[in-house]
Amino acid sequence: MKIIAELILYCLLFFAMVKYAVRNGAADGLYFYPQAVQERAVAIGLSTEEEIRRRRKEFMPLFFAVMTVSMVVMIRYLNGIHDFRNAYLQSLLFLEVMNWFDGIIIDRLWVGHDPFWKLKGCEDLPYVQTWPQVIRKRCILTLIWIAGACIPAAIVVLLP
């Protein structure tokens, strides 16, 4: 039950980070949108390519740092995991839950149904992935996280 609460907390943190990224409006998170939407947004003056790149460069390192540190802290200090095998399995669980949460809850439900994400002047462009696109992307990321879970697991083991 404790791990379920931690996974929920982790997903809420993920949600909060996305909400932070778009705190002044959806246009702040244009780097989350497909390329066609970004291009239209630039063409109609919602942003510039430089601004989109700058915002991505500012947010993504912060996002990865916060999500990695919080996962490592939960695994190492809340759950008391010291060995690589268990750290790897818990890291993989956190990353896979985050992966599917992002695809289903964030992309399909929140972005797909909240008018907040509709950009004025880009309403005719598809900006929400279809179910087949979500499943394909999440399956690919599932395979990537099988290897990627080694990184937080190694950090957990190296901590005092």
- Tens of pLDDT along the chain (160 residues) come to 999 999 999 999 999 999 999 999 999 999 999 999 999 999 999 999 999 999 999 999 999 999 999 999 999 999 999 999 999 999 999 999 999 999 999 999 999 999 999 999 999 999 999 999 999 999 999 999 999 999 999 999 999 9
Q: Provide the number of structural domains found in the chain.
A: 1
What pLDDT does residue 142 have? 98
Q: What is the pLDDT of residue 144?
A: 98
Backbone phi, psi, residue 47, to 5°: -165, -175
Q: What is the pTM of this model?
A: 0.95
First to last CA, the chain: 26
Work out the widest C-alpha separation in the chain, in whole angstroms.
53
Tokens of 52: 């989109």
pLDDT value for 149: 98
* Structural domain for 25, as ranges: 2-158
Nearest-angstrom CA–CA distance, 147 and 88: 10
pLDDT at 150: 98
